Amino acid sequence: MTVTTYKSGTPAPETGFYVFHAYVDGSTTPRPSDSDRTATYQKGQTFKQLNGRDVFWVKKSS
């Protein structure tokens, strides 16, 4: 199964609940806080960075 990821700084393709997937640079620390690891985005809203770094987000299935 292929996972579609969305990079911080890009607009959300659709409204939904998204979860942190990974740092863009492949690092694993620092771990984002539990409250930062999930977010609801409206279509067109820009995906945020975490800990000042670019990350990948994935849309959680319904």
Tokens linked to 58:
């994935």
**Which residue has tokens 């959300």?**
12
Q: Are 13 and 6 in contact (CB under 8 A)?
A: yes
pTM over 0.85: yes
Domain residues of the chain, as ranges?
6-59
Q: In this predicted structure, what is the pLDDT of residue 61?
A: 78
- List, for residues 17-61, the tens digit of each pLDDT value: 999 999 999 999 999 999 999 999 999 999 999 999 999 999 997
Say how far apart CA 18 and CA 28 lie, in whole Å: 19
Answer for the pair 58, 19: CB distance below 8 angstroms, yes or no: yes
Give the model's pLDDT for residue 62: 59
| pLDDT confidence of residue 2 | 83
